[in-house]
Amino acid sequence: MDETDPAAAEHTPTANAERDPRFNYEQGETVLCFHGPLLYEAKVLQTQYHEKERGFDDGPHYLVHYRGWKSTWDEWVPDSRLLKHNAEGLKKQQELRYAIAAAKKNQRAQRNAEASGPAAAAPAASAALSQAKKRRRDSLPEKEDAFIKRPEIKISVPDLLKTQLIEDWEMITKMHKLVPLPREITVANVLDNFREVIVKALKSKGIRESRLEESVSEVVDGLKIYFDRALGNILLYRFERQQYADIRKRFPEESMSNIYGPEHLLRLFVQLPALVAHTNMDQDAVNILKDHFAQILAYLQKHQAQLFLKDYEPATPTYIAQQKQ
């Protein structure tokens, strides 16, 4: 998470007494892990065999830490997302990077040709051929540099909300307390109320059905989707995972943005820069997102006393005992 926020997931690997034949990778092993279309170097922290567990397919799973990434990106992955860190795996990693970079260039060339009409098709094809020849001469580092030059986004979390994140982390990881669920004020409530505030402000200025209003709605709906998909993977602390499994059993058809509240939504904003970096948005779209994110954070800070819990509920002795098993 944010460097000023100590709320990074804690992972304490447990030593395997002997090699379990069900697992193709061992605890402590360096591997290559798929994240999106690419392979990243990672380390196996833990191994678990899942059977009929909500949110996971049956079979072996591995808790991995991505090299160079904060521990909040640690996640459980199945066998299908891992490759051995050997010559064959590294070759596959390079091929994927090159293929993605080449595909992006081809898409740009095609868009330029379509925009210019049939007369530009031949020059565009010639240019693409020249680029292909040049790519063969380019060194691998240059190809990688071209690929990783993606739009960046920096989100400044207000100091009062940073304090909120620290208190949230301490209550869960140090005091063994939990956010009571379902929350009375949910993620969906917060985002929908924010949207209403923006729409009212626009209408008070005589602006109706503007592109800004549409943009805010898109961001709000997108954040709900991001939250639902990210919650179980990167927004929970280890002590909360049993609570998450229990809540999924109680509300199997409900979106988690209708169950969890602003405490967990705030954690999402710490992760958003890395999530956005894995999209195909251009810099203009990223800048618009950044402005809306800043507005939502300002809204959270303004209504902090009403939105956020001042204290969480203590976990039961039974729940705490389950975490030690």
Q: Which residue has the tokens 């039961």?
A: 316
Nearest CA to 96 out of 52, 189, 32, 139 is that of 32
For the stretch 301-324, pLDDT in tens is: 999 999 999 999 999 999 988 877
Nearest CA-CA partner of 164 in 293, 314, 289, 264: 264
Q: Which band of pLDDT confidence, cut at 50, 70 and 90, is reported for residue 268? A: very high
Cα–Cα distance measured from residue 103 to residue 95, given in angstroms and rounded to the nearest whole number: 12
Could you write out the DSSP letters of every residue in 216-248?
HHHHHHHHHHHHHHHIIIII--GGGHHHHHHHH
Say yes or no: do domains 1-85 and 159-323 share a fold: no
Whole-number pLDDT of residue 206: 61
Q: What number of other Cβ atoms are within 10 A of residue 84's Cβ?
A: 15
**3-class state of residue 178 by DSSP:** strand
Model confidence pTM above 0.75: no
Task: Give CA–CA dist 166/255, Å, rounded.
Answer: 26
Domain boundaries, the chain: 1-85, 101-148, 159-323
The yes-or-no verdict on residue 248 having pLDDT over 80 is: yes
Contact 169, 309 (CB under 8 A): no
> What is the CATH T-level fold of the domain 1-85, as seen in this structure?
SH3 type barrels. (2.30.30)
Structural fold of domain 159-323: Enzyme I; Chain A, domain 2 (1.10.274)
> 77 with 56: CB under 8 angstroms?
no
Question: pLDDT of 138-180, one tens digit each?
Answer: 444 444 444 445 555 778 889 999 999 999 999 998 899 999 9
Q: Are strands 30-35 and 59-66 parallel, antiparallel or unpaired?
A: unpaired
Q: CA-to-CA distance for 165 and 171, rounded, in angstroms?
A: 10
